[in-house]
Amino acid sequence: MNEPPVREGDVLAGKYRVEKVLGVGGMGVVVAATHLQLEERVALKFLMKDALDSADAVARFAREARAAVKIKSEHVARVIDVGTLETGAPYMVMEYLEGRDLSQVIQFQGPLPPEDAVEYILQACEAIAQAHVLGIVHRDLKPANLFLIHRPDGTAAVKVLDFGISKVTPAKGSSSDNAMTRTRTVMGSPLYMSPEQMTSTRDVDGRTDVWALGIILYELLCGQPPFTADTMPQLCGLILSGPTPSIRAVLPSIPPGLDAVLRRCMEKDPARRYPNIAEFTGALAEFAPRRARVSIDRVARVIQSASMTTSGVIVASTPGAQAQTGGSWTDSKLGIDAKPSRKAVWVALAATAVLAIAAFFIARRGQVPVEATVVLPTPVPAAVPPPAQVTPQDPMPLAVPPVASSVANPSPSAQGNGLREAVPVPAKPEPPRPAAKRPPAAQHTAATAAPAATPTTKPSDLFDDRK
C-alpha cells in the first residue's frame, strides 16, 4: 500500500486542514478536511506525485471534476471547488459523505432484500439518466462506486462516484476527450464490463451502463456477481460468449419477472438490451417499493426532455424534435427549450380579457333582481276533513273566510330548509260580499256539527289579480 503524501493536521492550499486519510490508491488519495474559514467538513481528492507524470491520469482527473459538476442530481457527489496544490498536483473539493459503499454493505450484511436493492439501483439511475442526457457514459459502474448515505430524515440515498473514466460524446466533449480513450486501452472493472467495452472501450454508449447496473443488481440480490472465474481470460470468455446466467438458479425466491429484467440487461448484443435508462427503470417498477416510484418518474422526465438516438446515446433536444426510443417516447412532443413569442402572449391575454368582460355584461343583462323574486315552499297537501253536509233545502253552502292576499312570514319548515324569507306583496282590496244567509236552526246545527274545512291556498292564487 502506498504511503499517503499528507498527514493529519497538514494544511492544503492554505485553507484545508487534513483530518484523516480516507483512502489511497495507485493514482490518487482522498482525505477528510475542514475548511478553515467556513468550518465546513469536506472531502479533498488529489493525485499522487507519481501520477503527475501521466498525461492521461491528469486528463481523467480533470474530466471527473467536469462531469460531476455538470450533473445536477442529488445522487451525484457534489464538486465544490478545484485547484492546484503547492506540489503542482491538481485537487478537487467534494461534499463529505458519511456511510459506506454498496460493496461494503454486501460484505458486512450479505444479500439485500429485493425492495432495497431495486430502490438503490433506481436512485443510481437518476444520476446516470442525467449523465446520459449530457452525453456522458460512466463506464465504471460497480458497487464500490455507489455510496450509501442517510439523509437528515433518516432515509437512505445512493451517491454515484468516480466519473474519472467516463466517456463524453463528440457532441458534448472535445477532441481530446475522445483521443484520451484508445481502442486498445481496457478501462473499467472487468466483473462489471459489458462485452463491447471489453473489445473496444471507446466504442460504447449508454447501454454499457445498463449492463453494469444489471450486474450490480444481480450482486445486491444474491451476494455475488453473475460472472466469476479464476483468471482474467476465463472471465472475459464468459462475458463475451458464455451463457447468460439466471438468478433463479442461485436464488429461487426471486420473481420470474425480475429474473427476465436482469437477463435482458445482460444480453451480449447491445441492441437486445434496454435501449435507455428510462426503459430499464420502467421494467423495475413492478418490483420497486412505493417510496421508490419517485425515482422512476424523475428518470422518465429526464429522458423525455431529450431526444435519443437508436444506440441509446442521448443528446439535447431541439424544438420540434421527438424522442427515438424504440416506440416508448415517439408520441411525445419535445422541444422543451422552445418559448412562445412576446406578441403571442399579449394577444392571448387580450383575448382572455375581452371574453371575460363580455361574459360579465351578458350575465348582468340576464339577471333577475333579487327583490322581485319571491321564493315559496312547495305546498304539502294536508288531510282535509270531508265537507259539511248541506241539505237540498239550503240555498247556499257555508261561507268560506277570505284568504289573506299577502305572505308576511313563510312557514317554519321553509325557513329551516334554507329558503329566502318571502317578500311581502301588497294585497288588493276586495269588494264587500253579501252576508251569507243563516240556515234554519235545526239545519244549522246539523251542518256545524262537523268540523270546518281547513282553508288551503295555492301559490298561484296569491298573485291572481282577477280576485
Question: Comparing C-alpha atoms, which of 23, 19, 12, 85 is closest to residue 4?
Answer: 23
Q: Which residue has the cell 481528492?
A: 45
Report the C-alpha gap between 86 and 93 in whole angstroms. 16
**What distance in Å separates the CA atoms of residue 160 and residue 83, rounded to the nearest whole number?**
22
Say how many C-beta atoms besides its own lie within 10 A of residue 72's C-beta.
10
Residue written as grid cell 504511503: 3
The Cβ of residue 61 has, within 10 Å, a number of other Cβ atoms equal to 23
Of 101, 116, 140, 209, the active-site residue reads 140
Q: Are 17 and 36 in contact (CB under 8 A)?
A: yes
Q: Cβ distance 271 to 282 under 8 Å? A: no
Q: Which residues have CB under 8 Å from 60's CB, separation 6+? A: 164, 165, 180
Active site residue 140: yes
Three-state DSSP state, 443: helix
- Nearest in space to 228 (alpha carbons), one of 190, 187, 267: 190
Q: Which of 217, 218, 239 is nearest to 227 (CA)?
A: 239
Give the whole-angstrom CA distance, residue 216 versus residue 223.
Answer: 10
Q: Which grid cell sits at 389? A: 253536509
Helix residue ranges per DSSP H, 37-113: 55-70, 102-109
Task: Give the catalytic positions in this structure.
Answer: 140
